[in-house]
Amino acid sequence: MNHLPGKDRDKVETATILKLLGQVRIFEGFGPGDLKDFLAQTIGCTYAAGDEVFAEGEPGRDMHIILTGKVEVFRKSAGLEVPLLKLGSGETFGEMSLVQDANVGRTASIRAMENTATLRIDHDSLTRIPGVASKLYRNIARTLATRLKISTDLVMFQVQYGGDVPPSETLSRTRRKPAVRKLGG
- pLDDT tens sequence for the chain (185 residues): 665 555 555 555 788 899 999 999 999 999 999 999 999 999 999 999 999 999 999 999 999 999 999 999 999 999 899 999 999 999 999 999 998 887 889 999 999 999 999 999 999 999 999 999 999 999 999 988 998 998 898 888 878 876 565 555 555 555 555 555 566 65
Residue 56: which of 107, 111, 104, 112 has the closest Cα? 107
Domains of the chain: 2-128 (2.60.120.10)
Alpha carbon distance 103, 110 (integer Å): 19
Q: Strands 2-3 and 52-54: what pairing?
A: unpaired
Distance of alpha carbon 173 from the chain centroid: 27
pLDDT at residue 154, rounded to an integer: 84
